[in-house]
């Protein structure tokens, strides 16, 4: 058996509380399986009086995280407090004092990951963050290890359970957005303040991390184009179904000869695509490469237990490296690479128009698209007296050209309203 290793944990909320309980309750199981004797020596929290789902000896719980990260009794530090400040200071201090760090904090990794990875490399210790994307789904290790030799071309991800739950409810029971959101909040799938989820901000952090690891070029969160789901109408979900699509909030990262593009926005995806069947709060990441072709990773993207399993896996991995006393080789290096301007990225659009139902309307509309260099893939009309609904799906053209075409439509006297636009993934459906 190896010597006992001291684990220090910053935060004991949903993830940290579960992790501490499991490190204690499952100590012997982990030891039997891995040979590792992992001992919880310090747990830092804000409030020492809150009830916790574990019992630890006096002195283990502390409200001084700054002491924990430099405590010689601590061999490995787990950061599960969340946010960027002050977490970044504690993580840096731990790395600089030669301690491996494990974090579940996507916001921190997306914003500060490049510097933190360099700090870990300088100290020769691992910085692991499997739980930062996809909660309990193994995706960081596959990207940085198993697929390290694959020139990945594209990553598509359902990386936010709240929005996938809301869109699934709207699709399956025809509920409007506000009702589906309220239900998600009641069931605990959405926070009382759902802004970070519904605006796509949470998914954008994860998209930045996935793209950086998939392509080996650092993508900051500010390099991710983002739109949320709050403008998705029930009508468009129903029309999408008629056209053979499902609406999902997707993280889309791809690499072209012109550069990398990373974005998070609602997408109509073919009902046949593997991601279309990912329902409720489940997350999934779909990866394409020339040799592996297509891979799908799916499972619980959040929650105390699945996320704690991912964190625990990282703790075990880091403990093994620590005991091997070997120089830790970097898991990822970032090479310079061009980030495409979103205006240049080829996209396809679904457009719902409220138009006057009279001769010549279609010709005018087709003319606006032609002027902008966008060709139409399909046109579908539903009449309502002197007004009609027109559903258009375009072929791939630069995002800028699609916007230009839609702007021109707004100025046509036969177009009462551009009622909705949603990007369509894949030109082939």
Ligand X SMILES: NC(=O)c1ccc[n+]([C@@H]2O[C@H](COP(=O)([O-])OP(=O)(O)OC[C@H]3O[C@@H](n4cnc5c(N)ncnc54)[C@H](OP(=O)(O)O)[C@@H]3O)[C@@H](O)[C@H]2O)c1
Q: Using CA atoms, how far apart are residues 61 and 18, in angstroms rounded to an integer?
A: 15
Closer of 134 and 216 to ligand X (Cβ)? 134
Closer of 111 and 390 to ligand X (Cβ)? 111
Smallest distance, ligand X to C-beta of residue 423, A: 27
Q: How many CA atoms lie within 13 A of 104 on its CB side?
A: 34
Q: Using CA atoms, how far apart are residues 90 and 96, in angstroms rounded to an integer?
A: 10
Q: Which residues 74-93 are close enough to bind ligand X by CB under 6 A?
A: 80-82, 86
By CB under 6 A, is residue 15 in contact with ligand X? yes
CB atoms within 10 A of CB 370: 12
- Return the beta strands (E) in 257-404 as ranges: 259-270, 282-289, 293-300, 346-356, 376-384, 387-394, 397-398
Smallest distance, ligand X to C-beta of residue 408, A: 42
By CB under 6 A, is residue 3 in contact with ligand X? no
Asked if residues 206 and 262 have their Cβ atoms less than 8 Å apart, the reply is no
Please list, in sequence order, all residues whose beta carbon lies within 8 angstroms of the beta carbon of residue 248, skipping any fewer than 6 positions away. Answer: 158, 164, 167, 266, 267, 269, 275, 276, 278
Q: Determine the interface stretch with ligand X among 188-196, 250-258, 276-284, 300-308 (rule: CB under 6 A).
A: 300-308
Q: Which residues 317-346 are close enough to bind ligand X by CB under 6 A?
A: none
**206 in catalytic set:** yes
By CB under 6 A, is residue 302 in contact with ligand X? yes
By CB under 6 A, is residue 11 in contact with ligand X? yes
CB atoms within 10 A of CB 60: 17
Which residue from 8, 65, 126, 228 is in contact with ligand X, where contact means CB under 6 A? 65
Which residue from 3, 47, 291, 327 is in contact with ligand X, where contact means CB under 6 A? 47
Query: Whose CB is nearest to ligand X?
Result: 13
Asked if residues 210 and 288 have their Cβ atoms less than 8 Å apart, the reply is no
By CB under 6 A, is residue 234 in contact with ligand X? no
Smallest distance, ligand X to C-beta of residue 142, A: 17
Q: How many CA atoms lie within 13 A of 121 on its CB side?
A: 12
By CB under 6 A, is residue 50 in contact with ligand X? yes
Q: Which residues 135-194 are close enough to bind ligand X by CB under 6 A?
A: 135
Closest listed residue to residue 279, CA positions, set 238, 232, 247, 241:
247
CB atoms within 10 A of CB 386: 8
Q: Which residues 86-125 are close enough to bind ligand X by CB under 6 A?
A: 86, 104-106
Binding stretches for ligand X (CB under 6 A) = 11-16, 44-47, 50, 65, 80-82, 86, 104-106, 131, 135, 302-303, 307
Residues with active-site annotation? 206
């Amino acid at each position: 058996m190896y010597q006992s290793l001291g684990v220090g944990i910053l935060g004991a909320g949903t993830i940290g509380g579960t992790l501490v309980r499991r490190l204690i309750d499952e100590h012997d199981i982990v030891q039997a399986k891995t040979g590792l004797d992992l001992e919880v020596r310090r747990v830092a929290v804000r409030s020492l009086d809150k009830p916790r789902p574990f019992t630890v000896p006096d002195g283990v719980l502390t409200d001084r995280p700054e002491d924990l990260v430099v405590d010689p009794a601590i061999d490995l530090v787990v950061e599960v407090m969340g946010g960027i400040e002050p977490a970044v200071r504690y993580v840096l201090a731990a790395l600089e004092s030669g301690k491996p760090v494990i974090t579940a904090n996507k916001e921190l990794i997306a914003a500060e990951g490049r510097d933190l990875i360099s700090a870990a490399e300088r100290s020769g210790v691992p910085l692991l963050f499997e739980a930062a994307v996809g909660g309990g789904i193994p995706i960081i290790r596959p990207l940085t290890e198993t697929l390290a030799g694959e020139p990945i071309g594209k990553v598509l991800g359902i990386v936010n359970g709240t929005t996938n739950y809301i869109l699934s409810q709207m699709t399956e029971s025809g509920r409007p957005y506000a009702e589906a959101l309220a239900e998600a909040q009641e069931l605990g799938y959405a926070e009382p303040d759902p802004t970070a989820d519904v605006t796509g901000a949470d998914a954008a952090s994860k998209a930045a991390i996935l793209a950086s690891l998939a392509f080996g070029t650092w993508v900051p969160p500010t390099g991710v184009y983002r739109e949320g789901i709050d403008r998705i109408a029930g009508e468009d979900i129903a029309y999408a179904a008629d056209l053979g699509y499902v609406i999902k909030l997707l993280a889309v990262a791809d690499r072209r000869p012109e550069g990398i593009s990373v974005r998070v926005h609602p997408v109509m995806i073919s009902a046949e695509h593997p991601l279309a069947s990912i329902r409720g709060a489940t997350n999934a990441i779909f990866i394409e490469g020339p040799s592996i072709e297509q891979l799908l990773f799916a499972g619980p993207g959040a929650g105390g237990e699945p996320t704690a399993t991912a964190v625990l896996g990282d703790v075990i991995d880091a403990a093994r490296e620590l005991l091997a006393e070997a120089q830790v080789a970097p898991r990822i290096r970032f090479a310079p690479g061009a980030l495409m301007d979103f205006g240049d990225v080829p996209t396809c659009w679904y457009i719902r128009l409220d138009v006057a139902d009279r001769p010549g309307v279609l010709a005018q509309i087709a003319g606006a698209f032609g002027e902008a260099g966008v060709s139409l893939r399909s046109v579908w009309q539903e009449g309502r007296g002197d007004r009609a609904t027109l559903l258009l799906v375009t072929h791939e053209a630069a995002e800028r050209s699609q916007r230009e075409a839609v702007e021109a439509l707004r100025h046509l006297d036969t177009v009462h309203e551009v009622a909705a636009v949603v990007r369509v993934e894949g030109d082939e459906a």
